[in-house]
A and B are shown apart, each in its own frame.
Chain A
């Protein structure tokens, strides 16, 4: 009886909403171009994966991660470090010295932790640790700085970094996940088990640190000089345009090979992204309906009684936080692969943390399908409201004189349509569907 009641109040709207999403994207294809439609679809799928990661942490464990941007950026770094070719000259100039310097840095910190524990009760403990850390820092800089300078001096216009391993770029995707997982593990080890706001502060901080490192450590990923022309897992347009089978195929369906080649490449990406998202969502749905998922829901419901039933709340939180971050890292690697470049200055919290949160909340936190829907829908709006806003503004102002101050003001303001729309969507969804478009259950 109770169950039928619940079923009546919450019909499954997922097919309807996903259908509407498909219609929107197809409409873009007809009204604008298929290239635009596929661009929206591809980034939408990547956004959906980021939303899945955040949803795992927030929707299923109540962990507040406001450092999505950092984990996404680490995935991007993985693409550079895995797929670009190593710069032999730079390695000779200072590769091993840089690694040695980093090892000294790590040894300083680990030594500090070990000595701190060993010297318990010693009244000179603080003094000794301070001296140890300061000495370690100076030795680290003495080894590290010249090595970095040597590497960055190697052909700075095109490299100035160590390069990568020269492996296939698809390997960078799981590695991006691993990088993010490692950073998440460090954050979680320090901040989990404390009050939950500490986790928020720690993630906020680590994200900014990661971006700062990416921007400033040129030897690693060329910093703000960017890495461009990253290898692809799919064919290049130019190769397609010159290959006989492609030209033949396009002629037989009467398409322009140049436009078609770019659509073909985007379709290849879309296929890859679909594969990843299907694997992820299948794995997550299976996990969440397994005893493990039941335990996670129990912990989110009530930590005290779950603990009393023998559930290691901090341990499970650590696990799910690391997993969620790994998914964000994976998405970050996919995004950098799609872009074909790593541009550290493009990582903005508004775009990579706030927007992903809007996706999760609008989609319906706690529901994986909701996260995917939110990712696609919010990304669609993010891309489309600006041209729509500009179009509307132009229509409104079309009758005004070009010298009209009002016209200038209106046209100038169209850039604010994007954040304004995000705010409005969030408000409307929270007002009329407080648990998101696809609520948890």
Chain B
């Protein structure tokens, strides 16, 4: 099967700092893959380059076989890539429903009026915000804002979903719900790249993991194996634990 998302030799510099150093990996259709690594290892930067939010300094990104490397974010999104943000980015002057509606109107598969509203309601219900579409976004708590971002990403009906620490900050019962939600998407055949620090979630969701450290890919493989890899443990915990 051909890759749904294919990145090769991705490079990014911020001034003198090399944030991402020739990172390559593939996602097959329907795969849920974890992107792990200690803080500052370049995970968010990789996601930003996939979604087009940051231009690449080298390498390429292909979505469904098409080269999207040099495209602006709005064009990449039209190739079926949607994302959430590590630091939520709601649109404060719009209501919760309008935030989601925005993904539907003027999108890859635009819908208007009733049809659009139906999708908004469906996605809000899916993430557990049923009936809260008329509230102001600023009234939502952090977790609900994250839910809203997920609904917003899903409303674009993407094929690839980039989740940047979407589960971070949840309490244990919320975490359970969050994991179920992602599993549900997995069941629908969504391709998901998941940046996550919560190992419980990674074990439950990802068949495969990619680990980065200091901008480089240091390991890749089935989650159980990768998480035991001494190189990975060393990267996370320092030399003593290896």
Residues of A in contact with B (beta carbons under 8 Å apart): 2-3, 6, 291, 294-295, 297-298, 300-302, 304-314, 440-441
Given A301-B93, A309-B156, do A291 and B72 touch, yes or no (CB 8 Å)?
no
Q: Which of B15-47 contact A (CB under 8 A)?
A: none
By the criterion CB–CB under 8 Å, are B136 and A308 in contact? no
Given A291-B112, A301-B91, do A308 and B106 touch, yes or no (CB 8 Å)?
no
Q: Does B102 contact A (CB under 8 A)?
A: yes
By the criterion CB–CB under 8 Å, are B74 and A312 in contact? yes
By the criterion CB–CB under 8 Å, are B135 and A2 in contact? yes
By the criterion CB–CB under 8 Å, are B83 and A308 in contact? yes
Residues of B in contact with A (beta carbons under 8 Å apart): 51-53, 72-74, 77-78, 82-83, 85, 89-94, 98-99, 101-103, 105-108, 112, 134-136, 139, 152, 156
Given A309-B103, A309-B156, do A297 and B93 touch, yes or no (CB 8 Å)?
yes
A295-B105, A307-B53 known, 13 other contacts, Cβ within 8 Å: A2-B135, A6-B136, A291-B105, A291-B112, A301-B93, A302-B91, A304-B53, A308-B83, A308-B85, A309-B103, A310-B77, A312-B72, A313-B74
By the criterion CB–CB under 8 Å, are A298 and B74 in contact? no
CB-defined contacts of B92 to chain A, threshold 8 Å: 301
Given A291-B112, A294-B94, A297-B93, do A308 and B102 touch, yes or no (CB 8 Å)?
no
- Complex alpha-carbon distance, A441 and B108, angstroms: 31
Given A2-B136, A301-B91, do A294 and B105 touch, yes or no (CB 8 Å)?
yes
Given A304-B53, A307-B53, A312-B74, do A291 and B91 touch, yes or no (CB 8 Å)?
no
Main DSSP-derived SS at the A contact region: helix
By the criterion CB–CB under 8 Å, are A302 and B89 in contact? yes
CB-defined contacts of B72 to chain A, threshold 8 Å: 307, 312, 314
- Complex alpha-carbon distance, A1 and B92, angstroms: 17
Question: Contact check: which of A305, A314, A440 meets B91 at CB < 8 Å?
Answer: A305
Tell me, rounded to whole Å, the shortest Cβ–Cβ distance linking B114 to chain A: 13
By the criterion CB–CB under 8 Å, are B98 and A308 in contact? no
CB-defined contacts of A314 to chain B, threshold 8 Å: 72
- Complex alpha-carbon distance, A300 and B93, angstroms: 9
CB-defined contacts of B139 to chain A, threshold 8 Å: 2
- Closest A residue, CB atoms, query B81: A308
Tell me, rounded to whole Å, the shortest Cβ–Cβ distance linking B53 to chain A: 6
Tell me, rounded to whole Å, the shortest Cβ–Cβ distance linking B98 to chain A: 6
By the criterion CB–CB under 8 Å, are A311 and B106 in contact? yes
By the criterion CB–CB under 8 Å, are A307 and B74 in contact? yes
- Complex alpha-carbon distance, A440 and B93, angstroms: 10
Given A291-B106, A291-B112, A297-B91, do A309 and B101 touch, yes or no (CB 8 Å)?
no
Tell me, rounded to whole Å, the shortest Cβ–Cβ distance linking A320 to chain B: 14
Q: A-B pairs with CB below 8 Å: how many?
A: 82
Please name the 5 residue pairs, one residue from A and one from B, whose CB atoms are nearest each other, closest first.
A307-B73, A310-B77, A305-B89, A301-B91, A291-B105
CB-defined contacts of A307 to chain B, threshold 8 Å: 52-53, 72-74, 77
27 A-B pairs whose Cβ atoms sit less than 8 Å apart in the complex: A2-B135, A6-B136, A291-B101, A291-B105, A295-B105, A297-B93, A298-B91, A300-B93, A301-B92, A301-B93, A301-B94, A304-B73, A305-B91, A305-B152, A308-B82, A308-B83, A309-B74, A309-B107, A309-B152, A309-B156, A310-B74, A310-B77, A310-B78, A310-B106, A310-B107, A311-B74, A440-B93
Tell me, rounded to whole Å, the shortest Cβ–Cβ distance linking A352 to chain B: 30
- Complex alpha-carbon distance, A295 and B156, angstroms: 14
- Complex alpha-carbon distance, A3 and B132, angstroms: 13
CB-defined contacts of A440 to chain B, threshold 8 Å: 93
Question: Contact check: which of B78, B89, B94, B105 meets A297 at CB < 8 Å?
Answer: B94
By the criterion CB–CB under 8 Å, are A310 and B94 in contact? no
- Complex alpha-carbon distance, A307 and B102, angstroms: 11
Given A294-B102, A295-B105, A301-B93, do A308 and B73 touch, yes or no (CB 8 Å)?
yes
CB-defined contacts of A6 to chain B, threshold 8 Å: 136
By the criterion CB–CB under 8 Å, are A310 and B93 in contact? no
**Most A C-beta atoms less than 10 A away, residue of B51, B72, B134, B156:** B72
By the criterion CB–CB under 8 Å, are B105 and A305 in contact? no
CB-defined contacts of A309 to chain B, threshold 8 Å: 74, 77, 82, 102-103, 107, 152, 156
- Complex alpha-carbon distance, A310 and B98, angstroms: 15
Question: Contact check: which of A295, A300, A313 meets B102 at CB < 8 Å?
Answer: A295
Given A302-B91, A307-B72, do A295 and B53 touch, yes or no (CB 8 Å)?
no
Given A304-B89, A307-B72, do A294 and B156 touch, yes or no (CB 8 Å)?
no
CB-defined contacts of B52 to chain A, threshold 8 Å: 307
- Complex alpha-carbon distance, A268 and B106, angstroms: 43
CB-defined contacts of B83 to chain A, threshold 8 Å: 308
CB-defined contacts of B105 to chain A, threshold 8 Å: 291, 294-295
- Complex alpha-carbon distance, A314 and B134, angstroms: 29
- Complex alpha-carbon distance, A309 and B82, angstroms: 7
- Closest A residue, CB atoms, query B103: A309
CB-defined contacts of B77 to chain A, threshold 8 Å: 307-310
Tell me, rounded to whole Å, the shortest Cβ–Cβ distance linking B211 to chain A: 25
- Complex alpha-carbon distance, A228 and B62, angstroms: 63
CB-defined contacts of A304 to chain B, threshold 8 Å: 53, 73, 85, 89
CB-defined contacts of A300 to chain B, threshold 8 Å: 93
By the criterion CB–CB under 8 Å, are A310 and B103 in contact? yes
CB-defined contacts of B102 to chain A, threshold 8 Å: 294-295, 298, 306, 309, 311
By the criterion CB–CB under 8 Å, are B107 and A308 in contact? no
- Complex alpha-carbon distance, A314 and B71, angstroms: 13
Tell me, rounded to whole Å, the shortest Cβ–Cβ distance linking A358 to chain B: 24
